Structure 1
Amino acid sequence: MRNKWKIAFFILLGVVLAAVVTLLILAMIPPDGKKQEQTKVKDGDMVSFLIRTNREDVNKLINHYLEKEVADSPVNYQVRVGDEVELYGTVPFFSQELNMKLTFVPEALDNGDLLLKQKSISVGQLRLPVPYVLDFIRKSYKLPKGVEIWPNERQVVVHMQQLKLKSDVKLKANSFDLEKDDISFTLLVPVK
């Protein structure tokens, strides 16, 4: 009789151990049956986010950025985005300050930069050559890092990824269609 109880005990112990092992195996198998790979992040990787916006928000952003970046500039200027990009400022002319307005047509380039093609210019009532005025602006105004003026081509290039933003965040222009109020950027956030 003793052997029957020993045999029953070991059978019961085997069933309990088999149940525990089965439960552990089932707990370790992923829910969908596939092993989940952990996303590996390398230092220097960038995560991208698509941002769609409108002219009003772009105006707020640009002028806030200019206030911070060129606050210590002796020359005051402002950018307004409407049906086109407009730059307002002053030009010293002898002992007078002349009001200036330049208008540009924006174009998002394939590399994420923003090209501003000069459309019109007015400096008071004077007719001045466009390359001269653009060269004067390039030499006299404190421009944010990443903004390059090409006077002879009548263009301004905004190298979006060179703009100084917080936390090393970078921007790329995707579309800049002012007529349709379709403005989109890719925000590149570094993963460290």
Structure 2
Amino acid sequence: MRKNANKWKIAFFTLSGLVLLLVITVVLLFYKHFPEVSEDHFIQQSPSMDEATFTIQTNKGRLNSLIASRIEQTPSEISYMVELQEDKVQFRSAFRVLGQEIPVTVNFLPEVVANGDLLLKVETFSLGLLSLPVEQVLQLISGWIDFADWVVTYPVDRLVEIKVTEIRVNEKDTMHFRFTRFDLEQDIIELEMIVE
């Protein structure tokens, strides 16, 4: 009977040792895989100052379609169009004088400036058969048509500035654009979209 009691004691202590070893292993694994929360866990990380930049490449045909659809969506008393041609940007419109439509055509040479905006320099213009200074034609055009806030005319300098850097897509102003290339002869137009 003593032998049976010793067997039960050995079995009991062996089983107790295995259970204790199992509990210790589970506790160690728990602490290893689930560490305690550190003090900086709930501190908000400062946002990154980096910006994401995406390059958009298009051509004259696609940009002409976009310009035409934007002009269509913008109500104006005077009809006009802007078209990218072989090597220039052309503005065409007409205005009524004494019951007759007088055509207006202005040809611009595009140039990307350092900040990514687009400058349009007047190359040629026609206003019916009248010979008017370019400054007056640009003043007339800016007086007739309500351009977007980011299209600015400088009649004295014979320039129109397309401030694509001021175009905002959303209210939070986290996305903006800039031209990197505007080559009409090669039919390559590139913009960068910057997301901050």
TM-score, L = length of structure 1: 0.75
Unaligned runs of 5+ in 1: 30-37
Q: Secondary structure at the match of 2:130?
A: coil
> How far apart are residue 14 of structure 1 and its match?
4.6
Q: Secondary structure at the match of 1:111?
A: coil
> How far apart are residue 116 of structure 1 and its match?
0.9
The residue that corresponds to 1:33 in the other structure is none
Higher deviation after alignment, 127-136 or 85-94? 85-94
The residue that corresponds to 2:82 in the other structure is 79
The residue that corresponds to 2:125 in the other structure is 121
Q: Distance in 1 between matches of 2:179 and 2:24?
A: 61
Q: Distance in 2 between matches of 1:166 and 1:152?
A: 33
> How far apart are residue 40 of structure 1 and its match?
6.3
Whose Rg is larger?
2
Q: Distance in 1 between matches of 2:45 and 2:159?
A: 43
The residue that corresponds to 2:60 in the other structure is 55
Q: Distance in 2 between matches of 1:156 and 1:184?
A: 19
Counterpart residue identity of residue 147, structure 1: V
Q: Distance in 1 between matches of 2:112 and 2:23?
A: 67
The residue that corresponds to 2:18 in the other structure is 12
Superposed CA RMSD:
3.2
Alignment pair present for 1:185 and 2:191: yes
User: Kindly tell me: are residues 120 and 13 of structure 1, through their superposed partners in 2, closer, same or farther at Cα, counting changes over 3 Å?
Assistant: farther
Unaligned runs of 5+ in 2: 1-5, 36-43
The residue that corresponds to 2:177 in the other structure is 171
> How far apart are residue 113 of structure 1 and its match?
1.5
> How far apart are residue 9 of structure 1 and its match?
2.6
Q: Distance in 1 between matches of 2:27 and 2:128?
A: 87
User: Kindly tell me: are residues 12 and 172 of structure 1, through their superposed partners in 2, closer, same or farther at Cα, counting changes over 3 Å?
Assistant: same
The residue that corresponds to 2:158 in the other structure is 154
Percent of matched pairs sharing the same residue: 29
Asked whether the equivalents of residues 145 and 164 of structure 1 are also in contact (C-alpha less than 8 Å), the reply is no
Q: Distance in 2 between matches of 1:40 and 1:5?
A: 59
Q: Distance in 1 between matches of 2:125 and 2:106?
A: 4
Counterpart residue identity of residue 178, structure 1: L
Q: Across the two proteins, how many residue pairs are aligned to each other?
A: 179
Q: Distance in 1 between matches of 2:27 and 2:114?
A: 58
Asked whether the equivalents of residues 66 and 144 of structure 1 are also in contact (C-alpha less than 8 Å), the reply is no
Asked whether the equivalents of residues 85 and 104 of structure 1 are also in contact (C-alpha less than 8 Å), the reply is yes
